[in-house]
Amino acid sequence: MKDVLSHPLGPLPWSLASPDGTMRKTNKAALAKELKKNIQPVEEIPQASACIIDGMALVQRLKGDHKTFSAVAEALLSAVLNEGRSSERIDVVFDDYREVSIKNAEREQRGQGSGCEYRNIQPEHKVKQWRKFLSSSSNKQAFIKFVSSE
């Protein structure tokens, strides 16, 4: 029995996939809690500090309905500058959206991700439904490229 249980019982390790073969979703909140466990917050941030911002978390907080892409990019820049106002350096980091991923598999399973995809974002184009726009990975990638160049 010890020898049998030393080998995988399915085509994929159960830490990565369910017995039916679907990929497991990770609990990022549990990971964050574990990482913060042994860290003591400081009372005051040193002057020569850097600010690292989760760009897509900031994008998700924006209200972009019926605004132009240029206006949304300006609002994002304003939010970034506000977040890092007391820092010497500001780094904005965006997620990487891969075609084959747990998130995309989950989205397909729920029937999301379909809809209008923007191939060439122009500054004067208006976004009618911001949340629906952000539900597409390819739209997010196009928006990140637009914001970076804008």
- State residue 114's pLDDT score: 54
Task: Tell me the Ramachandran region of residue 66: left when phi exceeds 0, alpha when psi lies from -120 to 50, beta otherwise.
Answer: left
Q: Say how many Å lie between the first and final Cα of the chain, rounded.
A: 62
How many DSSP H helices and E strands does the chain contain?
6, 4
Angle in degrees, CA 49, 54, 57, rounded to 5: 140
Q: Which two tokens stand for residue 120?
A: 């060439």
Render each residue's pLDDT in the chain as its tens digit; 150 residues. 888 778 777 777 777 777 777 777 777 778 788 888 888 888 887 778 899 999 999 999 999 899 999 999 999 999 999 999 889 999 999 987 776 776 666 766 666 555 678 878 999 999 888 988 988 888 888 999 999 998
The whole-angstrom separation of Cα 91 and Cα 69 is: 21
pTM: 0.67
State the CB neighbour count (10 A cutoff) for residue 74: 15
3 state DSSP class of 29: helix
